Amino acid sequence: MMEGDIIDFENVYPDTYGNNVVLIPMYCLEIRKDIAKECLNVVKDYINSQLHSSYDHLKRCKRSNEHVQILLGVCANIPNDIRKQVILINNAEDITIKKVYVSKHAPMTRKQYVQWSEFWPLYFRKPTNELPQLTKEQKNMYIKFLNISINIGKQFGTCQSGCILTWDNKIIACSGDNVKNHPLQHAVILAIEEVAYKLRHMWLIKKGVQLTKDQFIPWGTSNNRVPELSAQEISEQAGHVYSTSDKSVCGSSVDTQVAEGCVKIATQVSMDQYLCTNYYAYLSHEPCFMCAMAMVHSRITCVIFDQVNKQNGALCSREKLHCVKALNHHFKVYKAVRKHREL
């Protein structure tokens, strides 16, 4: 089997999305249905003190045909004053406390919710970072930009790694890696550097600052960088830069868009743009930890990558950096799915 064309994208979620249920013992008060509401009012403050916010995914009651079980917490004994009140409500008859097993963690998916609720009823709160299903138009756009990134890596990357950064579906920066000449010049780092370069000059231009040719901050001429050319020059070289044996990947229309995107940034991005806010990153390979953190600090909105980086990948192979709650910024992550075909 060998990999063919990109046909879809899968969301890269936290590991908890695929976890099996973890059960822990707790205790419940079993009483008749007709007195359940009154008993719950008596014990609710005690229940809340036992469960706190760590178990707010557990419903407080479980109903059967004849009885209602009220979850008490991890302790089998309840305070005497509460016990006496419940016994009084129960026509002076002693109460029944049973051990039950409940899910330790909140369900992250509908599937987990259905399966884990068989042990004890749960609440399902849709995670705030759950990604919506991609439309056909979005998938086609992602495929187009990702293929451009792959071809840039093949053309300019010393290790065939490529990156493009887009804003409003327009390419703002692109680069191959230069790792064989400098260990820190990964494709992502160079592309972010290019964005910063353009934003600095855009700010000066919009402020009306007149710069001579010698005052412009130099932008490198390494072979790994996609050339900084005029629209006409880029158009003339487009066939060479983005040439590929599969003509369906990058046609002349895509090359024209690349050319226009590289020279129109000053009129496309607002002057108060902060680094890569609302930018999408398309990578030929899963980023390492350095590149992933650079995208966190740059406020990238979404990362789409093709090949996994089993040794150093920071988004699914070695870690899921975008799922670390302690970070002050998180981006969405999609991984390309390729069609398998027979050799």
Whether residue 289 contacts residue 321, with contact meaning beta carbons closer than 8 Å, is answered with yes
Domain-located, residue 109: no
Distance of CA 258 to the CA centre of its chain: 26
Q: Are residues 237 and 317 in the same domain?
A: yes
Q: How many Å apart are CA 321 and CA 312, to the nearest integer?
A: 12
List the structure tokens of 34: 């007709």
Confidence (pTM): 0.66
Q: Are residues 174 and 239 in the same domain?
A: yes
Q: How many Å apart are CA 330 and CA 296, to the nearest integer?
A: 7
SS3 338: strand
Domain-located, residue 117: no
What is the model's pLDDT at position 26? Answer: 95
Domain-located, residue 127: no
Q: Tell me, what CATH number does 97's domain have? A: 3.30.70
Q: Are residues 236 and 149 in the same domain?
A: yes
Which of 82, 104, 126 is a domain's end point? 104
User: For residue 237, what is the enclosing H or E element?
Assistant: helix 231-241
Domain-located, residue 257: yes
Range of the domain at 67: 23-104
Q: Are residues 85 and 155 in the same domain?
A: no
Q: Tell me, what CATH number does 328's domain have? A: 3.40.140.10
What is the model's pLDDT at position 303? Answer: 97
3-state helix, strand, coil in the chain (%, to 5): 35, 20, 40
Domain-located, residue 67: yes
What is the model's pLDDT at position 213? Answer: 55
Q: Are residues 46 and 190 in the same domain?
A: no
**CA-wise closest residue to 142 among 295, 338, 282:** 282
Q: Are residues 152 and 201 in the same domain?
A: yes
Question: How many folded domains does the chain comprise?
Answer: 2
Q: Are residues 331 and 275 in the same domain?
A: yes
Distance of CA 140 to the CA centre of its chain: 19
Q: Are residues 233 and 303 in the same domain?
A: yes
Q: Are residues 231 and 141 in the same domain?
A: yes
Q: Are residues 99 and 142 in the same domain?
A: no
**CA-wise closest residue to 301 among 329, 328, 323, 273:** 329
Q: How many Å apart are CA 132 and CA 121, to the nearest integer?
A: 26
Domain-located, residue 43: yes
Neighbours of 23 (CB within 10 A): 14
Domain-located, residue 225: yes
**CA-wise closest residue to 287 among 153, 172, 166:** 153
Which of 58, 87, 104 is a domain's end point? 104
Q: How many Å apart are CA 141 and CA 227, to the nearest integer?
A: 24
225-to-112, 143, 201, 286 alpha-carbon distances in Å: 46, 22, 18, 19
Q: What string of pLDDT tens digits covers the 343 residues of the chain?
A: 446 788 889 888 777 777 889 999 999 999 999 999 999 999 988 988 888 778 989 999 999 888 999 999 988 888 999 999 999 998 888 889 999 999 998 888 888 999 999 999 999 987 766 677 889 999 999 999 999 999 999 988 899 999 999 998 888 889 999 999 999 999 999 999 988 888 887 777 777 766 655 555 554 444 555 544 343 443 343 333 333 333 323 333 334 444 444 444 444 566 677 889 999 999 999 999 999 999 999 999 999 999 999 999 999 989 889 988 889 999 999 999 998 755 5
Domain-located, residue 208: yes
Q: Are residues 236 and 98 in the same domain?
A: no
Which of 104, 128, 163 is a domain's end point? 104
What is the model's pLDDT at position 263? Answer: 44
List the structure tokens of 264: 């129109």
Q: Are residues 148 and 83 in the same domain?
A: no
